[in-house]
Structure 1
Amino acid sequence: MQDDLAADATAAAPIVDPAHARPHTTRDEYRSAVEQARAAAAAYYAGEQNLLDDADYDALYARIVASEREHPQWRTGDSPTAVVGTVGGDVEHSSPMLSIGNVFNSEGLRDWAAKLDRTLDRPVTRYTVEPKIDGLAIAVRYTEGRLVQIATRGNGYTGEDVTSQARLIAGLPQRLSAPVTIEIRGEVYMTDTDFAKGCDLRLAHGEPVFANPRSAAAGSLRAQRVYDVPLSFMAYAAHGVPAEHAHSHSAVIEHLGTLGVATTAQSSAGLAVCADIDEVTAAVAALGARRGELGFGIDGVVVKADLTTDQDQAGYSTRAPRWGIAYKFPADTRTTTLLRIDVQVGRTGVITPVAVLEPVQVGGVVVTSATLHNFTDLQRRDVRAGDTVYIRRAGDVIPEITGAVPDARPADAEAFSPPEHCPRCGGDIDRSNLRWRCARGRACGEKATLLYYTSRDAMDIEGLGDKILDALLAAGHITDAADLYALDVPTLAAMDRLGTVSATNLVNSIAATKTRPLSRVLTGLGIRMTGRTLSRRIARHFGTMDAILAATPAEWEQVDGIGSERATVILAELAEVAPLIAKLAAHGVNMTEPTGAVSTAATSAETSLPLRRPDGSPMTVVVTGSVPGLTRNQGNEAVEELGGKSSGSVSSKTDFVVVGDGAGSKATKAADLGLPILNADKFAQLLTAHRTGDHTTTTEILTTLTPA
């Protein structure tokens, strides 16, 4: 996580921090904003289609705060700064369910901690850091271990009784493991998997898809339907905990776990106990880096003073506890306008609908396009050009459209019509699978396929550019990659703009690629659901093309990163390109991986590789910046040659980061997470030592790994 997320804001990102927001110029503008915020909050707490996405609501709220700070006489009792929500209910809470204050960068977090220290007149004893679940807050009452009532947060003082929906909620048992009387507070939410299931259920029953997991959870908790949508619960507080378990927040959460209730500590996000604000900042960054890997949505991190004595001494303001704060992440779900729907044809003939969007910042990144998955899904969701759509992006996930705002659809918006014929070649379309494909397959994209085969990341054929390929294809000299190796100097010299010297150089350049390793050949073939990294992994696992072609589905699933679904696609792809592979082999193209890189199992030779753990598993390494003597891809290949697993993103699962000249945000993130760093010069020395068999030097270099 960058130190200051707001520093990366662009025109596409609303200002959500009140400290930087612009106040309204008139009282009427302020009142209009309050009314808009109240309406949006009512829809939000009711779990309906959102009137505003999170970022736009936060920006609206920030301007209201700024206006009330500038003009305190404008503030009214119905301001969103004065109330939690707008929807109350029949259940009175045992104590108010207050909101929590927000900060938006590490500077704000440190300012909050310093203020808390001043309030206590001493440093906070310790902190906890846990995920801020993007769900619906509820209070759950147990009497002698039996669940008796569930109430929504409502307006903070009274809530709605939703006890009848308890059967839907995983992590919230009907009976506790002990006959205690207790009130547990937490969030009802929807996991990513359950959100997808819920949307499918909605579509199957003729209803529009959910806007996002949060509104899906809130709406489903209240709804009485003929079908059940799965929900989950995670506890973050409790009242009535025995004194021996109530001395700290972390102890309360641990106790709830022993009662059988799902808690933040048991989740994939975990609960961190930190000694000081430096550890807090590192824990926040670590959780932010893993945001897209959790399997459920979080919109920030909650930081609390852990000890109950610290909390009691700090107390509450009129609206929120002083001993807790929420560090808000950039919104990973936004709304924007769908400008048009394009149809793209990939090099393997796969035909895909792609949404072109009004630029919007989602999760800290400006998004201008998003996946629409496939035509069947697009028609079921009925997303149209002109719609206001929800864009979701968690972590490094490709942006996707999760649905449209029905009430915002223009009157003249027309349903999308899928193509009748391949947009590239005009041929028939194979609609037998969810992902449509040109019936000509790879032949449809022969030029794109050839360009990929000859690219630097694949076979790296120098001198064979776009125009020469066009001429060769037009003249009928080539139809696939194997035909390149049959080209001779007279044929090429006779072509426009190619003399004998250039033709000779090109023939030699093509011939030189025959000795490229198998991993490069696999990359050049462009097998669907693989790429450079996975191609290297496959080549190293099997060693030869013959072994690859003979492998069974079960053997494919032994390759790191390949499951049954991917194995099925890869096997089908290999069967399709088998004739091309045979032609390449007949022309003398190498079909083996260098012996030092071949590995079919966690053998003793494999475990002795520098970047292998004793159990044979690879270390995860990120290379950022330049490594002396290596290109970017060669740097990644070197990681795998050394036995490691190359990754393009830094996270808490990264073992260490290689940092060279020109390193950027990845080096910064490594520093934030406190990951070990290896200088690029040392990494180059490590590679040389490994290749020369100098095991003493490799060991010495790896012992120099130091935290950022």
Structure 2
Amino acid sequence: MNERIEKIRQRIQDLRAQIELHNYRYYVLDTPTIPDTEYDRLLRELQHIEQDYPQLITADSPTQRVGAAPLKAFSQIVHRRPMLSLSNAFDDVEVEAFDRRVCEGLAVDNVEYAVEPKFDGLAVSLCYENGIFKTGATRGDGYTGENITLNLRTIKSIPLLLPVENPPPWLEVRGEVLMLRTDFLALNQRQSAKGEKEFANPRNAAAGSLRQLDPGVTAIRRLTFFAYGVGQYQDCHMPLDKHSHVMAYLASLHFPVAKEGGVVKGLQELLAYYQEIEVQRARLPYDIDGVVYKVNSLAQQERLGFVSRAPRFALAHKFPAQEAITQLLGIEIQVGRTGALTPVARLKPVFVGGVTVTNATLHNADEIERKDVRIGDTVIVRRAGDVIPEIVSVILEKRPVEVQVFVMPEHCPVCGAKAVRLVGEAVSRCTGGLFCPAQRKQAILHFASRRAMDIEGLGDKLVEQMVDQGVVRTPADLYKLGLSALANLERMAEKSAGNILRAIEKSKHTTLARFIYALGIRNVGEATAKDLAAHCGNLDRLIEAGSERLQQIPDVGPVVAQSIADFFAEAHNREVIEQLRACGVHWHEHEGISVLAGEMRPLQGKTFVLTGTLPIMSREEAKEKIELLGGKVSGSVSKKTDYVVVGADPGSKYDKALSLGIAVLDEAGLLELLQER
């Protein structure tokens, strides 16, 4: 039984890692590498496993959150009310199940729904104070988004002043930013005339335009906004009975709303609307990838409530992908920024989903074997989700005699490091994370990120320049940079270069946990890095520990242990680490307690809750110090809580701690407790 649970736990870890990676690529970088259908398959598998084994659900699971973290290029805005995503349906049976759940949840036989097209754009939040547009943000991770106010102000379809005499003190309007097809074609014509790269589709064009640091660039890209609902509001004269009435109210405030929206009753009318919009799809001025159903009554929405990542009262019904037939000319290996070796099919050009397709993803070796794909085959290719093409199947009756069977390489085609495929994982990965050219930019960005070495100012564009110009090849090269090398880069004056160098110098003093996390070892996130630092005690012990010894550490299973062992087995990775230490990167070597010596951490079994603003430490720093000594930090107060750490403006958690008689500490008290232990 334990062996079975361990296999399930390993599969959960792999699914979570894949989903988080694709969340980052899709929601943050706007460079997705798998079709929506493949992402949905991964998420559904994880959801089903966690439903069957609820004891394995953890707070960091993608099923417990919405999307991905915001970029650091913009300041951040915390949404007053989370911007949740929608559950998806892909066939009539799933829609029928949704309607049945709604009816059972409301104890009625028939439900009225508001229906509308599902825009293929970027969700944003617009906040108005006393009728004036004040701030705008992306969805981000659903709780915190990027502050893109200046860019949103350039979109002419967004009213800067609400046309009412007595506007509400506060109104948050939510909707989608997208690019109309005509504007997309005009943009690509301009890109082509200037000899610049054309955008793949309107969504990518809109995403790239909305995240420009220069609002002037956004202004000339001609973006469009459509409202689809409201978030928080105060003293608003908006009708509070039905969603359709809310949409009419937003239209009266001069917000664009989809004219194809409407109201239907029951399952049959839902499906009829879906079929109607699917027929209209090609004639619409913008791209859509399905339709959205929402229970129309706001009171009924309130009764139905939410699951962890989506409302129970709404559903996105996706359109099927578009397909075509062509020939597979060859298979090449693409090494991703995280070291994943992905087989890519080179196709005879074919027009599908509105574009000419020459490449398609084959995902991994298992998919190639499962679909029996061979070089020379005639294949069905699909632009799944209207984004990335994939090979659906092979037409076996058209298979020529001379087809070739493809075999995945045992070494990375870019750097020559060993390619490994861990148990439970679907893809092979290059183990040369710190030196592989294909992973160079990602490795350095991760190394410098806030939760790793925290090198302020070292963002995407600067790292891209440094790597492309050969200034930096590994993270160790960051600590060898001189002022002139940095100052000579584009948009990098001497003062800015000096700030970067000071940030790099400051990062030399770190913690062992942060350093381990910064190495970017496969399957080693922040929590695991902290466990490794705490239990191994020093880096050399970690490097020398083999897979079997690493599995003695709690929560480190065979997959994680093997990832760590493979990483340190590469001599080039160890060489980069030695260079980092030689450059002065250091931490307290006595930090942590060796689990191999059978010792316990002093705060093991103690639960803390942090509330309010601490005077000196950030809450993240406080959490890190507590976890380093084995304590657990929870988000809510209960009878099992041992300490509540209180800062300024603590809120209800402080009151609950007092009512339950739980020990309350201020920052000084926490530091004293940590020092004692």
TM band (smaller chain): 0.3 to 0.5
Structure ID, larger Rg: 1
TM-score by length of 2: 0.46
